[in-house]
Structure 1
C-alpha cells in the first residue's frame, strides 16, 4: 500500500463517525462506516437519490428520513452535505426513538423526502417551520436540526484544513487506485478461506420464509434469495437488504474497514420480485429494519458457518427486545440487547443495557422496577455457554400503554451439531398471581398493579457439555 493511499484511508476514517459515508459526486463510495447493518447501502441510496433530484453546491445541506429514499426509520434523520465540488458527505443522526406498530410508513410519524435545508450559507427557515408544524414532529426539532448543521459545517471545515495541512492531493487517479486496492484486499480475504455453496431457510413467526442460497467462488460471493416469500408483517427496503448482506459478509472476512465501491463489487445479491426484501411504498419498514435484519444476519451467519466449518460459532441473539411505555404525553423507549453466541474457545458475551437509569425511569414514569439483571438461564448449553440475556420486570403504578417488538425467528433454524440454540426473547404479563405469555409483537394497556416481564434472548452454546 502506497503512503498516499494509506494517508487517504486514514483521513477518511478519522473524519467519518457514527453512521456516515463519503462519496464522489459521480457516485463512487470512498468509505462507509457504521454499526447499523442497513447503513451499508441506505446511506449510498440516500446520496444518490438526493444528488439525482437536488443540485447541491459546496456547503449546501439536504436531509431526509424516508425509507424509500435511503432512510431507515422515521426517528433517524439522514443529512447530506456537499463538502466540496467533488465530494458528498452523508451522515445519519438519531432522534428520540418511537415504537409505532402500524401498517403504513405514513402512520409512523413525520416522513421527510429529500429536502434542501441549507443553501448559499442560509438555513431555509420556511421549510423548518413547516416540518415543526407537523403534528408528529418531535419537540425541539428545529433546535436539534440547527445544532446538527452547525456541527456538520465545523467538521467539513476541519476536513478541508486537515487535507490541506497534509499536502495530500485527492486526484481521480488516487481514488481509482484506492478502490482497486480495496477490491483486491476483499477478494484476497475471501479467497484465503474455503469456497463452496449452501442453502439456509429461516421461517419467521409472522409467516414469512427467508431462503438464502450462498455461493463463494474465486473471491466473489453470491447471495440469491430466490424462494423468499412475499411480505406478511415484515418489509425491508432493497438498499437495507443489500447493506445488511455486505455488513455481515465484510465483518465475517475482516474487510469492513474498506467498505467502499471497490469492496462492494465482490458481493452480488439477487432477490425475487415481490418478496419481503423489496418493500414498496407505503409499507411500514420498522419491523423489517429490526426483526427482518436480525433474520437476515442469522441466515447469512448460518450459511457461512456451513461452508467454513473450521470457524463454526453459535448464533447470536441478533434481535433486541424493544419496548415503549406511554402515559399521557410522556413515553419511554427501552432497547434490551440479547446475548452473544459461544465459540470453540470461549463463552458468549452476556448482554447489557445502555442508558437506562432506574431512578430516572421511576421518577418520570408511573412504574416501579422490581428486577433488572441477567437471566438465570445460560441459554445455549455446551462446553461453552451462550451469553445470557437480560430480564427487566416493571410494575405499573397507574394504567400505561405498552408496545413491544422482538425476535420473530422463534422457529429455530437448523444449526450445526456442535452448536445449540439459546433461549428466545420472552414477554409475559403477571396479573393476580398468574403469568401469561404474550406474542412476539403487540400493544395493549398495562393496568395498575400488573407486572410486565421482559427477557431478551441468549446466545447459543458451543460443543458438547463435559
Structure 2
C-alpha cells in the first residue's frame, strides 16, 4: 500500500468518529465507521436519499430520522453535510433514547424526511420552529440541533485544515486506487479461510422465521434469505439488513476498517419481497432495529461457525437489554449489556451496564436498587465459559411505568457440536411474595412495592467442561 493511500486511510479514520460515513458526490463510499451494524447500510442510504431530493452546496447541512430514508429509529438524528464540492459527510447522533411501541412509525414520534437545515451559511429557523412545534418533538430540540451543527461545522473545517496540512491531493485516481485495494484486501482475507455453504434457521419468539443460505467462494460472500417469513412483529429496512450482514462479515474476516464501495462489492444479499427484512412504510422499525438486528447477526455468526469449523465461536448476547423508566415527567434509560461467547482459546467477556450511577438513579427516581451485578450463569458452561450477563433488581417506591426490549430468540437455534447456549434474557416481577416471568419485550406499570429484575443474556460456552479426578 502506497504512502499516499495509507495517509488517506489514516485521514479518513481520524475524521470519522461515532456513527459516520464519508462519500463522494459520485456516490462512491470512502469509509463507514460505527459500532451499530445498521450504520453500514443506512448511512449510505441517507446520503443518497438526501442528495436525490436536495441540492447540497459546500457547507450546507440536511437532516433526517425517517427509517425509510436512511434513518434508524426516530430518537437518532442523521445529519448530511456537504463538506466540499466533492465530499458528503453523514453523521448520526442520538437525541433522547426512547422506547415506544407502536404499530406505525408515525405513532412513534416526530418523523423527519430529508430536510434542508443550513443553506448559504444560515440555519433555517422557520423549519426548526415548525419541527419544535410538533407535539411529539423532544424538549430542547432546537438548542440541541444548533449545537450539533456548530460542532459539525468546526469538524469540517478541521478536515480542510488537515488535508491542506498534509499536502495530500484527493484526486479521482487516489480514490479509485484506495477502493480497489480495499476490495483486494477483503477478497484476500476471505480467500485465506475455508470456502463452503450452509443454511441456518432462526425462529423468533414473535413467530418470524429467519432463513439464511450462506455461500463463500472465491473471496466472495453470497447471502440468500429465501424462505424468510413475512413480518408479524419485526420490520427491518433493506439498508439496515445489508449493513448488519456486512458488519458481521467484515468483523469476522478482519476488514471492518476498510468499509467502503470496494469491500461492499464482495457481499451479495438477496431477500424475497414481502419478508420482514424488507420493511415498508409506515411499519414501525423500533423492534426490527434492535431485536431483528440481533437475530440477523446471530444467523450470520452461526453460519460462519458452521463453515469455518476451526474458528468456531459460541453465540454472544448481541443486543443489550434496553430499559426505560418513567415517573411523572422524569425519564431514564438503561442499557444492560449481554455476555460474549467463548472461543476455542478464551472464555467470553462478561457484561456491564453502560453509564449507570446507582446514586443518581435513586436520587432522580423513586426506586431502591437491590442488586446490580453479574448474574449466576446456568448456561454457557464449557471448557471455556461464556461471559455472564447482568442482573439489575429495582424496587418501586412509587408507581412507575417501565418499557423494555432485547433479542427475541428464546427458541435457541442448533449450534456446532463444540458450542453451548448461554442464558437468555429474562424479566421477572415480584409481588406479594410471588414471582412471575414477563415477556422479554414489553411495557408495564410497576406498582409501589413491586420488584422488577432485568437480566441480560449470557454468552455461550465452548467445549466440554474438564472433569476433575479426585484421588482419595
TM-score range normalised by the length of the shorter chain: over 0.9
* Correspondence for 2:4: 4
* Correspondence for 1:271: 271
* Correspondence for 1:296: 296
For residues 39 and 319 of structure 1, the distance between their equivalents in structure 2, rounded to whole angstroms, comes to 15
- Cα distance, 1:379 vs structure 2: 2.9
Indicate the SS of the match to 2:139.
coil
For residues 60 and 328 of structure 1, the distance between their equivalents in structure 2, rounded to whole angstroms, comes to 39
Indicate whether 1:248 and 2:248 are aligned.
yes
* Correspondence for 1:391: 391
- Cα distance, 1:165 vs structure 2: 1.1
Show structure 1 runs of 4+ deviating over 3 A. none
Q: Deviations over 1:76-133 (max 9, x none)?
A: 0000100000000000001120000111111111110000000000000111111111
Indicate the SS of the match to 1:435.
strand
For residues 284 and 212 of structure 1, the distance between their equivalents in structure 2, rounded to whole angstroms, comes to 23
* Correspondence for 1:224: 224
Indicate whether 1:126 and 2:126 are aligned.
yes
TM, length-normalised to structure 1: 0.99
Q: Deviations over 1:242-272 (max 9, x none)?
A: 0000000000000001000000000000000
Indicate the SS of the match to 2:436.
strand
* Correspondence for 2:462: 462
* Correspondence for 2:283: 283
For residues 101 and 35 of structure 1, the distance between their equivalents in structure 2, rounded to whole angstroms, comes to 24
- Cα distance, 1:378 vs structure 2: 5.5
Contact persistence 1:378–1:388 (CA under 8 A)? no
Indicate whether 1:89 and 2:78 are aligned.
no
Matches within 5 A, 1:350-429: 350-377=350-377, 379-429=379-429
For residues 444 and 257 of structure 1, the distance between their equivalents in structure 2, rounded to whole angstroms, comes to 42
- Cα distance, 1:221 vs structure 2: 0.3
Matches within 5 A, 1:184-203: 184-203=184-203
Indicate whether 1:18 and 2:42 are aligned.
no
Q: Deviations over 1:395-449 (max 9, x none)?
A: 1111111111122010000001101000000000000011000112111111100
Contact persistence 2:334–2:354 (CA under 8 A)? no
Q: How many residues align?
A: 466
* Correspondence for 1:445: 445
For residues 266 and 357 of structure 2, the distance between their equivalents in structure 1, rounded to whole angstroms, comes to 44
For residues 51 and 223 of structure 1, the distance between their equivalents in structure 2, rounded to whole angstroms, comes to 29
Contact persistence 1:323–1:335 (CA under 8 A)? yes
- Cα distance, 1:319 vs structure 2: 1.9
For residues 84 and 181 of structure 1, the distance between their equivalents in structure 2, rounded to whole angstroms, comes to 24
What residue ranges of structure 2 are gaps of 5+ in the alignment?
A: 467-472
For residues 184 and 393 of structure 1, the distance between their equivalents in structure 2, rounded to whole angstroms, comes to 50
Indicate the SS of the match to 1:461.
coil
For residues 310 and 186 of structure 1, the distance between their equivalents in structure 2, rounded to whole angstroms, comes to 20
Indicate whether 1:69 and 2:77 are aligned.
no
Indicate the SS of the match to 1:437.
strand
Contact persistence 1:403–1:442 (CA under 8 A)? yes
